[in-house]
Structure 1
């Protein structure tokens, strides 16, 4: 083969590789694009300080939790970004796989949750984008960033993601629990019921606290488990929290699990064991 032909073949290989690399980053680019658009749409001009007056009508366990976390005297929160590591199980029998996640949430007139995940499957990266906006809820996952392995959306996902958003608010941004869309009912000194009413649905959860004021568990009957055949089943969902430590100036749990509570037994499918950072009002 002539040298010129070899050069052309090598050049074509390089071009193909560059194209594949670019295409493989498509989900990440879409995530960043959606985040930018969401913040441009939901700008907050005025910053206010969270005071005891803001929380006086909340149930006592919630007030105690907000005081314990240290949100009083700090800015009210209308957005937050979380970067964390964890593990996930794709099914009961699979091994744990390490994941890296980044998510941006907006708690404004519009509710937004944009969740980007990277994991390895058989040594090859898998990228996923889970989005929840006024336009709907969806999840897309691609093997090597090229081949679609997950493509889900629908009303069940929107309802489930509304529960997840409330969970995020409780875990990552307790200052947002003053949101007027949440209706509270105290059950006892360490347990409260929350109803989160959005434009599209109302979901409920029970929050459990310990005597110190720490939130230690969150349960909801309103999430849907996605079966392999494409159907959904409403299933109890719990997220126990522990190992509180100072993260960005607040006392927050640094470890959490996500568990499906099936009648035949629990299935823990996700663990967040390294919350690297939480940044509030991060559009600034």
Structure 2
């Protein structure tokens, strides 16, 4: 007598077992699709938040491009500072009001850990200090900013889970320091003003001070033989911890829109136990004074 339907090894009909596998596979696919949808919704939310931060930043910007730099402004400045501005700016250079740049590079989430690839986008305003930066790696997205006198650092894992939201006086000062340090990318911002002063140190160094509201930022600035800023050092809070020596190293100067700027930037902590770089960025594109 012919057996109706083949049996699997466990005695159940093969068709029945196949049906259960098919149902399980459908549920797995549904879960995967939901996870992908949630991930992309997270990315969209990150994009919208970044766009809102940029809009808030630019809404407070002032167009200062009508002002022109002249070599007469350098009278009385320390000699290495004069040589720097003559090297990176031309006489008659319009002041830079707004900056938009993109970069690639490497980043460390742990000072003693390994490097991960990162891409970033950043906006700056000059007349009123401010910036918004977004950096993305394979696992996290970070938004760093200084808007309306307030600093903030937000980090999300897989664009979904907020793992840090740093705010407060230490972040206000720290993010203002980042803005001053990265002003080498738009050097008219480093020209002397009521808020920014240069003081002599020696033939290859000068001290930069910037005051904003109740904050005073001080950098030791070192120049190389080509009259370029190669290093800036200051005391900065390490997150919510105490102040430590914070170092920015700058190299590979290139001419962009008539302005000579560094295209490679490294940020590091110079601690008693050693020198720990944590960010190495290479500027890919930079634009000045974009129309709003």
> TM range, normalised to the smaller chain?
0.7 to 0.9
- The residue aligned with 2:133 is 115
C-alpha contact 1:247 1:277 (8 A) present in aligned 2:
no
Give the length in aligned residue pairs: 268
- The residue aligned with 1:31 is 50
> What's the CA shift string for 1:207-227, capped at 9, x where partnerless?
111232111111112x1112x
Distance in 1, Cα, partners of 2:106 & 2:247: 17
C-alpha contact 2:223 2:231 (8 A) present in aligned 1:
yes
Residue 89 of structure 1: how far off its partner (Å): 1.1
> What's the CA shift string for 1:249-284, capped at 9, x where partnerless?
322222221110111111111111x21122112245
Alignment of 1:76-155 (within 5 A): 76-108=95-127, 110-120=128-138, 125-155=139-169
> What's the CA shift string for 1:195-239, capped at 9, x where partnerless?
110013001001111232111111112x1112xxxx411001111
Distance in 2, Cα, partners of 1:162 & 1:146: 27
Distance in 2, Cα, partners of 1:261 & 1:17: 41
- The residue aligned with 1:252 is 261
- The residue aligned with 1:4 is none
Instruction: Give the greater-gyration-radius structure (CA).
Output: 2
Residue 14 of structure 1: how far off its partner (Å): 6.0
- The residue aligned with 2:286 is 278
C-alpha contact 1:88 1:97 (8 A) present in aligned 2:
yes
TM-score, structure 2 as length reference: 0.83
Counterpart selection for 2:79 from 41, 50, 60: 60
Stretches of structure 2 lacking an aligned partner (at least 5 in a row): 1-18, 20-25
Distance in 1, Cα, partners of 2:35 & 2:204: 59
Pairwise CA RMSD: 2.5
Distance in 2, Cα, partners of 1:13 & 1:90: 28
Alignment of 1:70-81 (within 5 A): 70-81=89-100
> What's the CA shift string for 1:145-179, capped at 9, x where partnerless?
1111221111111111121111011x201111124
C-alpha contact 2:57 2:132 (8 A) present in aligned 1:
no
Distance in 1, Cα, partners of 2:82 & 2:243: 31
TM-score, structure 1 as length reference: 0.85
